[in-house]
Structure 1
Amino acid sequence: MTHPKHRGARKRIFTGVFAATMALAGTANAQKLEEVLVTAQKRVESLQDVPISVAAVSSDKMTDFGITDMENLSAYVPNFTINETGISTTVTIRGISSGVNPGFELSVGMYNDGIYYGRDQLARVPMMDLERVEVLRGPQGILFGKNSIAGAVSMISAKPTDEFEASIRGLYEPDADEKDIRGTISGPITENLSGRLAFLYREMDGYMENTYLDRDEQGEEETFIRGALQWQATDNFVANLKVSRATFDVDGRNVDVFNSIGSPDHLTVLNGIQTALGRPAVGGELDYKRDNNGDLSDNTVDNAALRMDWTLEPFTVTSITGFVGYEYEEICDCDFTAALVVDSDVDSDYSQFSQELRLTSLGGETIDYIAGVFYQTSELYFSDSVNLVDDTILTQVLGGLSPALAPLANLSASKRNFEQDSDLWAVFAQVTWNINDAWRLTVGGRYTDESKDASKDQQHLSGSNFGSTFLPPEPNGESIPTLYNFMFGAFGIEPYEEVKGDLDETAFTPVVTAQWDATDDTMLYATWTKGFKSGGFDARSNAHPDPAVMNAVNAITGQDLVGTFEFDEEEANSAELGAKMRFAGGRAELNAALYYTEYTDLQVSQFDGTLGFNVTNAGEATAQGVELDGRWAATDSLTLSGGIAYLDFNYDSFPNSQCAFGQAPDSPDFPGLCDATGKRKEYTPEITATLSADWRRPIGNLELRAGLDVNYMDSYLYSAVLDPNTKQDSSAIWNGRIALASVNDTWEVALLGRNLSDETVLNYGGNTPLAGILTQGGGNSYYAFVNRPRNYAVQLSYKF
């Protein structure tokens, strides 16, 4: 890990590099930068003309550095992070994310060729054959719309081509035994019809050693296939159809358990029980080794999209019809150790249909406009169970209390079912008044109406009769159900009949933007907008939400449990000042954004200390800061690019936060909870930055290529309860690539090095589940997802 004393030096390095590159740009002997085109405003525009803080990552960048998913991509965009957790994926822009709960939709809207990818599981879909990925920072409540209160990520697939082309590329990395092969074939089928086929197969053993199972983890196997057709029926009508299927299966997790603290010490207690049961001890070092009984995750995602564009003077009509569906099954050994305590089965299905109709002016007139309607319907089913398996350590614990209790810990489960249906429709419009050659004024708005219906139930089931919530009475006549409930009550889990809820919410989100072309090379803008994210229902809370119901249960178990179910909508007010600038005759660019956003009723999900997560609204929060992005063609052979972001995040009001380990409850209004007002949220590093150098030099009929980049992140907390023991120190991850290719780019051989600095970075974690139970609240340890260490890979590619 990087020592914190280097933080200030690295800030100065990145700031100095940007200042130096811009100052020297005027003296460099190089060609102009290639223009970056984006569709951030649903039109094809130059990135330099868009009044939004946008970062665009090209297909070449993703391919060259082996970026296979959104999590790897996020390292190259300041103020944008993606972290895989035990049961979900968090996507964060400017410190705002949705947290861990299947009932959440993402605060960062993801869009695949215009189709909304709002569920966290979709952030894990393998990426390939993309033209580019655009990351829009700040609320995007008008043209992207649904729930994009923190920002939007737009993935644009490569389209079928008019001329034949094909490619194949392979990668091999020996340490984790990673193999990646992908290819495309594209070209005309008939005079007016062209097609494209893309495929991917990837597998690897993993980089964590599971000493208990004697294997490497997490093992991954991914397949992806996409077919696309483009029909140019007339000069004025074109249709694009895309169908894809992705599977991604995982064995194990890249999770480590470490830092056992307190009295009694958690791992000391746990290993004492392990010894009594004749089982191996559990380690406790952060060393890329873990002791675990095994996890798995099997996922399938289907996607279909049909886009039709009619050009009818003086506007274009666009129709986008989309379907997204996924199903996944997971087994989680959720105490994250090799001790036999509990495991969890998860089963989820999701389906979504959407339709958008859009009217867009051709552009270049005094008044330009975009207007449309949007409809989406979706169904979500989520089921999970906490299973107590044979020879669990609870047999030992409960048997020590009473021999009659020991059988209760074997072959039993607590099962939860959650279902949700959602329907949404919206109308939107955005109008730009081109006042003169220098000034533009844009106003727009979106009206949204969304309804949701949800239900959830939770039962305790016996292994001998898995469909029943009851067990036969003990010989002494004592009620087994009461004891059974007491046992699960120790985990904070209680049974309850079905609870239901429904909501119907409306919102209007406006935007006002002024643009000024101060010079031919400088555009300044100011924008104000509102963001909205709908409320919903908690799928993961382990207790009934009604205190009156829980009072009777708590009287038996001695617990103080109250669950959560419904949570409120989230709103944002955001202002941004920005500049898009060109220098040195188009050989350098620098874009800057200064932003200020206030959030109310921020939706958060926090670990309850045992096995569950509770959703609540966090009152008020403020995110503000500065973002810089730039490119510089230093010479004909060398191009530098990068970005740096400063983030100041503050909970202005959060009196109902879960307490961290060892923290005494101090909330004046919420007994048993802690007041996090004035603190920073998790995943809010002050400084994030990336700097890349790309160098190319012809050598006869060959070309030598080299690339080097560094991705820097300041320190941050990675636990939602803001435990100071979950601090990740600042880090700088270096990646390098050197390649030899033909001048006409037909073939290439490359050596790739990732995380050359061998930084150990913890992406997500918190209290090890059940540590508090085994130590009766006196001890704790921590788990964390650990990123990949230094690795080298060989890449080969050939284009036909």
Structure 2
Amino acid sequence: MAGIVMLCRLGPIALLAVQAFVSSALAQHAVPIATEPSPSRPSDYDEILVLAQGRLQRLRDVPISASVVGGVDIQSWNLNDLTAITASVPGVRVSPGPGADHVHIRGVGSGENAGFEQSVSTFVDGAYRGRGRAIRASLFDVERVEVLKGPQTTFFGNNAIAGAFNIVTRKPAREAQYDATALYAPTDGEYALEAAISTPVSPTLSVRLAGKLSGMDGYTRNAVNGELGPHLRDFVGRVSVRREPSPIWELDARVDYGRNRDTEQSQYQLVNCPPPAAFGNPIGVCANQQAASGGALDDRLDYDASVLPSFFDYDFVEASMTNRWRIGGANLKWISSYFRHDFSQMNTVFPVDYPGIANTPFVHNVFNGEVARSVSNEVRLESEGGGVLKWMIGAYYAHGELSADLLSGSYFAPLGLLGAPYFDAETPFANLGALEESAETKSAFASASVRLSDAVRLNLGARYTRVSKQTERSLVFGSAFPTATFDTFVPAPDAVQLQIADGLDAEIGPFDKPSRVDDKFMPSASVQYDVTPRVMAYVSYANGFKAGGYALNSVGNMFDAETVNAYEIGIKGTARDRTVSFNLAAYRSDYDNLQESTADFRVDGSIIFLVKNVATSRSQGVDLSASARASRWFTLRADIGYLDAVYRSFTDGPCTSYQQLTRPAPCIQDLSGKRKAFAPTWSGGIGATLTAPVGNIKLRADPLVYFTSSYYGQATADRELLQKAYAKFDLRIAAAPVDGRWEIALIGRNLTDKATASYRNSLPTSPGSSFALVERPRSFAIQVLARR
């Protein structure tokens, strides 16, 4: 382990040199390696291959509940990110938020705080992306995306306590290839231009170049400036190399760079103003907005907003190198990766158009940014397939640096009075919070699979992880005019800082314990039984862990590690001469000390954000996926999930908006027995493929219906923040020659034009009212593809 730690600290360039030296040395003592195939659009269930357990296996042989989205489908449907990928995957919710993006599997995920790494981990060719905003790193030129449900502690490990997205990129080919696609949607100005070329440079070296330009004019009109949003202008590019210098050594390396720009990001809308009758007359921001509109206020969820401008800038770079050697009867794999992203954004928290204190243009704006860097190394040695025993041992080390800032301009109330007499009621009050964190993760892991008989296999796994963190925080109060930016912020004197902190129940000093260490031994076990040569049943247990940490809040908020015990039983396979495939799994996951982000929205407008450890929670349910090829021209697919995700014990949870109005501050409620956020009881999708030849042209239609029952948008069980049940209908119609060299398609999304929200939250100062971010309405696009 000490050697791996030292390697990580060498830096990306030195690591490449060390890997090259080790590769040459190992090549002197190795035997030929078998190249792993990777189909992009399997023709039947038996051909779907995954890396869910570190080695390439058929999906039906893996004792894990998983969904796979192929690269051809991702390109054909122009699925740009994980939000689009998972729209029809049951039990999975990915949605953008103002402070962080929400990623949940089976009702478990990390909330909106810069101190969180995700409970659902994302890996790209083995490289770990832990930050919530990293799902914005454009998804393109991929072989497949594996959605792995439940804790993935042995084979992925790093925080994958709820599940993992395993993204496999396309690799350079030994023969010349190209593919390109162009898409345009006149309904909202979406466009995408993507191209890739793969070519051999020598008998042992191949290179692939890929890039994508994409964007959108927008579908929500802002009445303040007349602009449409989201207004996207994005680019991502990749250079990848595959080198096979000898039969026993294979190397894959790539560098990705991406740049996302959104000049109209926070198109949030005011909803339920006035509030329901139980809340009484509107107060606060809602009352002011009603007066400003003369009573003709649009408070429905639609495609009209009234907010001041906002922006979101995101840049990332990722480098990854994987070496594989065959040494005797074993394979050695070494994965090195580097990831960095920078983002900055400005949001309008209150979706209104009237001035705040001292005639500032915003009522409340938030300016925040983050720089995150990480470098990691993983080494694993595994036996070859076949035989009575298959084994694997490995070690992992990662070092990460985080710098996050949150600047808030609170112009909705005379908060300057808290600093009187230095400040007064007309002071444009603002505060700046900062979090600096350094983290190290060290892991050792192993697995063994023993064939007890021709039909029975026992799988054992374990991982030991140690996470150490060192953190600094600061909170500074002051003023900022006309808006809150780093250039306009002026800190108050130290004495005034203490006075304001006392009035807001805030803390301006460091954390009580600025360093912490969490460690855990995590065993796992499963038994597989081959009912028939094509049907496998399994039962599994896994223990999971996610380290504690520090939150970016107005108080020195620390939170402890969370753990899970997960159980699953399932059956998967094929029938009727492989024309029918199925995957049925029942699961239960019991979480202790679950990390939950909460917010106390006080009636006076102040907001106290906290991260708490929920005593216990439980996620249980059933997932079913199946497909049937009724004929050569017709295939039907279904992916449906039932989920029961509740807090078993959470006695000091955040309040609903009505409770905020009727109970004294600080307000808490007992959430025990209530449903978790982003956890619909029913969700999934049903799709079909219909093909018909017309001369030398093949016509294809892919209808898809995806649905969800209602779910809460925040961890408060607040019915005012409930996304109601809905179903959406997409359709893709395409024509292509029999050889598939080109294709032209028409894509329709949300054809029934359902208005739904990806994000909801309570409106400070105005109980019963809320703000929401509407999702894309009905759209049509035309697409042209060419490939060889």
TM over 0.5: yes
Q: Helix, strand or coil for the counterpart of 1:60?
A: helix
Q: Deviations over 1:536-566 (max 9, x none)?
A: 1011x22x34xxxxxxxxxxxxxxxxxxx11
- State how far apart, in whole Å, the 1-side matches of 2:148 and 2:489 are: 48
Residue 725 of structure 1 corresponds to 720
1:619 aligns with 2:615: yes
- The match for 1:364 is 386
Offset, 1:502? 1.1
Q: Give the C-alpha shift of residue 762 in structure 1.
A: 1.8
Assess if the C-alpha contact under 8 Å between 1:452 and 1:536 holds in 2.
yes
Supply the distance in 2 between the matched residues of 1:622 and 1:353 (Cα, whole angstroms).
34
Matched, 1:524 2:542: no
Structure 1 residue 785 corresponds to structure 2 residue 779: no
Equivalent position of 2:747 in the other structure? 752
CA distance in structure 1 between the partners assigned to 2:317 and 2:178 by the alignment: 24
Q: Is the CA contact 1:685–1:714 (under 8 Å) kept in the aligned structure 2?
A: yes
Gaps of 5+ in 1: 1-30, 473-478, 546-564, 773-778
How many residues of Structure 1 are paired with residues of Structure 2 in the alignment?
A: 722
Match for 1:632 among 628, 633, 636?
628
Task: Report the equivalent of 2:765.
Answer: 771
Superposition pairs of residues 503-582 of structure 1, within 5 angstroms = 503-539=516-552, 541-542=553-554, 544-545=555-556, 565-582=557-574
Q: Which of 334, 337, 346 is the equivalent residue of 1:331?
A: 346
Q: Could you tell me whether the CA contact under 8 Å between 1:651 and 1:677 is conserved in 2?
A: yes
2-structure distance, mates of 1:224, 1:143: 29
Instruction: Decide whether the 8 Å contact of 1:165 with 1:187 is kept in 2.
Output: yes
Equivalents in 1 of 2:474, 2:416: separation in Å? 27
Change (3 A) 1:589 1:666: farther
Q: 1:796 aligns with which of 779, 784, 787?
A: 784
Superposed displacement of residue 168, structure 1: 1.3
Equivalent residue, structure 2, for 1:602:
594
Does 1:182 pair with 2:194? yes
* CA positional deviation for 1:469: 3.4
1:54 counterpart letter in structure 2: A
Q: Could you tell me how far 1:263 is from its partner in structure 2? A: 3.6
2:266 and 2:348 in contact (8 A); partners too: no
Letter in 2 for 1:302: V
Task: Name the CA distance, whole Å, in 2 between partners of 1:470 and 1:318.
Answer: 55
**Which letter maps to 1:128?**
F
Moved more, 261-270 or 713-722: 261-270
Partner of 1:380: 402
> In structure 1, what is the equivalent of residue 163 of structure 2?
151
Contact 2:539 2:570 in 1 (8 A): yes
Aligned 8 A contact 1:282 1:291 in 2: no
624 and 633 in structure 1: CA distance in 2 versus 1, 3 angstrom threshold? same
Which residues in structure 2 correspond to 1:647-796 (within 5 Å)?
Answer: 647-663=643-659, 672-768=667-763, 770-772=764-766, 779-796=767-784
What is the CA distance between 1:398 and its match in structure 2?
7.7
Tell me the percent identity: 28
- 1:322 alignment partner in structure 2: 337
Aligned position for 2:427 = 409
Please name the residue that 1:13 is paired with. Answer: none
AA matched with 1:368: K
Shift of 1:342: 2.4
Quote how far apart the aligned CAs of 1:466 are.
Answer: 6.5
Distance 1:665 1:257 in 2: 19
Q: Measure the CA separation in 2 of the matches of 1:780 and 1:692.
A: 38
Are residue 126 (structure 1) and residue 116 (structure 2) matched? no
Distance 1:321 1:766 in 2: 40
- Where does the alignment leave 5 or more consecutive residues of structure 2 unmatched? 1-42, 355-361, 482-486
- Rounded Cα–Cα distance in structure 2 between residues aligned with 1:117 and 1:32: 31
Residue 471 of structure 1, CA deviation: 5.9
Q: Does residue 116 in structure 1 map to residue 116 in structure 2? A: no
Tell me the secondary structure at the aligned position of residue 78 of structure 2: coil
Contact 1:591–1:629 (CA<8 Å) still a contact in 2? yes
Q: Counterparts of 1:155-170 in structure 2 under 5 Å?
A: 155-170=167-182
Using the alignment, how far apart are the partners of 1:387 and 1:61 within structure 2? 44
Is residue 438 from structure 1 mapped to residue 459 from structure 2 by the alignment? no
Q: 1:272 to 1:158 in 2, by over 3 A?
A: closer
Normalising to structure 2: TM-score of the pair?
0.88
Q: How does 1:197-212 map to 2 (within 5 A)?
A: 197-212=209-224
Confirm whether residue 646 of structure 1 aligns to residue 653 of structure 2: no
CA RMSD of aligned residues (A): 2.6
Give the Cα–Cα distance (whole angstroms) in 1 for the partners of residues 628 and 420 of structure 2.
73
Give CA-to-partner distance per residue, 1:617-669, whole Å, 9 cap, x none. Answer: 1110111111111122211112222211111112110001011111279999x
Give SS of 1:222's match: strand
Q: For residue 197 of structure 1, report the CA deviation from its aligned partner.
A: 0.8
Deviation of 1:741 (Å) = 1.1
CA distance in 1, matches of 2:416, 2:267: 32
Q: How has the CA–CA distance of structure 1 residues 52 and 673 changed in structure 2, closer, same or farther, with 3 Å as cutoff?
A: same
Separation (CA, whole Å) in 2 of partners of 1:748 and 1:597: 44
Query: Is the contact between residue 90 and residue 641 of structure 2 (CA under 8 Å) also seen in structure 1?
Result: yes
| 3-state DSSP of counterpart to 1:496 | coil
Shift of 1:671: 7.0
- Structure 1 pair 667–105 and aligned structure 2 pair: CA distance change class (3 A): farther
* SS in structure 1 at match of 2:447: strand
Return the letter of the residue paired with 1:530. Answer: N
Deviation at 1:495, TM superposition (A): 6.0
TM-score normalised by structure 1 residue count: 0.86
- Report if the CA contact (8 A) 1:224-1:247 is conserved: yes
Contact 1:665–1:672 (CA under 8 A) maintained in structure 2: no
Q: What code does the residue aligned with 2:749 have?
A: R
Pairing 1:442-481 to 2, within 5 Å after superposition: 442-463=459-480, 469-470=491-492, 481=496
The change in CA–CA distance for 1:92 and 1:402 in structure 2 (over 3 A counts) is: closer
Which residue identity lines up with residue 455 of structure 2 in the other structure?
A
